[in-house]
Amino acid sequence: MEQGKYVLEMDGFSLIAILPKDTVMFRKEIDSVFVFKHLVEQKKDSLSKLSIEEQEKIKKLKFFLMRININQERKKYLFLLETPFNPDSALDFVVKQNF
């Protein structure tokens, strides 16, 4: 079965641009990647205290990768979320989740 990739990419600078001028803005550039699999492994003791249902929801996120790139001077606020998926299982759980 062929595997696909789900990618959600958003440029949020236009949202930040409408904030009041006295709002605290980002003072430095941020370029970070979060691999949810690593976070799930690092926090497994804390996660074990959650209900089985909540643990299962979080485990489904372990194949997600999130990248945030913010540069105030260049007016850049990029957010990228991606995960591989099998078309048979599709992304039903993503659509049904209430994050």
In angstroms, rounded to a whole number, what is the distance separating the alpha carbons of residues 31 and 82? Answer: 16
Higher pLDDT, 56 or 99: 56
Residue 9 banded pLDDT, cuts 50, 70, 90: very high
Task: Answer yes or no: pTM beyond 0.75.
Answer: no
Q: What amino acid is encoded at 45 in this protein?
A: D
Q: State residue 34's pLDDT score.
A: 92
Q: What is the pLDDT of residues 14-72, one digit of tens each?
A: 877 777 777 666 678 899 999 999 989 999 999 999 999 999 888 888 889 999 998 87
Determine contact, residues 3/90, Cβ cutoff 8 Å.
no
Determine contact, residues 36/65, Cβ cutoff 8 Å.
yes
Judged against a pLDDT cut of 60, whether residue 99 lies above it is answered with no
